[in-house]
Amino acid sequence: MKISDCRGRLWLGVGVACLAAWGTSAMAADPVRDVTGATPAQLAAPAVPAQSANAPAAASGTIQELRDRIQNKEVTELRTTYNGRYGASLLFYPQTLGYYVALFHEGQFWRVVKVSNEKKAEALYADFVHQTQVLADVEINRIKLEAQKAMIERQLAESETRLNAVQNDLTIQRQQEQALAQNQQAVREQAAALETERSAARIRLSDVQGQIRSLEAQQNTVDSDLVRSVKGSSKKTTRRR
């Protein structure tokens, strides 16, 4: 019979119907699956000799007793709840109609209570489940904080990269502005020099043009004198004739 069939009967009919299906102790219970996620080597007690199905639990404590029951396939898991890396399990031991209520962390039992009363077992299991919630909340909060820290660090790295880029842009901008200012100063100085040269050239041009006008005036005067001289000589010749 599968574990799930037994679970359903236990849930609906409390343990009697399932015990009838199991029969006598000569018929071994179905194997309990690894409720903690641990390997058989982790659950097995080191250096403890194997026990028969009907042998009493070793005097090493309830935790080891449950491990041995699991190794010997004597218990059936009824309930298991996980919260983070913490978990709680309720297991049924059909030979005594008893229950084991266990707390575990990362596949290792760290608290196991043996109960003979079903209601007490259910109540204790509920309490253990609550404990896993409380314990896991701290770890879940740590996981969230770790993720938030990683995200902030990524954002910080991106912001630092952006800051470096902006600083580089600002440095280049300042260098360009300085070069532009120097260029503007040089252009202004060149313009001032050209203005001085232009003014000097204009003065020189005006002076040369004045000289040209003076010489042209002199030239016109000489031409007029020559014309008058020629005309005067022509009149004298005519009279003599």
Per-residue pLDDT of the chain (241 residues; tens, 9 = 90+): 333 333 333 333 333 333 333 333 333 333 344 444 444 333 333 333 334 334 444 446 999 999 999 999 999 999 999 999 999 999 999 999 999 999 999 989 999 999 999 999 999 999 999 999 999 998 888 888 999 999 999 999 999 999 999 999 989 998 998 898 888 888 888 889 988 988 999 898 888 888 888 887 887 787 676 667 766 676 666 666 5
What's the order of all strands across the beta sheet hosting 76-83?
A: 76-83, 86-93, 98-105, 108-115
Reported in sequence order, the residue ranges of the chain that DSSP labels E, i.e. its strands, are: 76-83, 86-93, 98-105, 108-115
- d(CA 230, CA 224) in angstroms, rounded, equals 10
- d(CA 225, CA 231) in angstroms, rounded, equals 10
pTM attached to this predicted model: 0.48
CA nearest neighbour of 79 among 136, 121, 25? 121
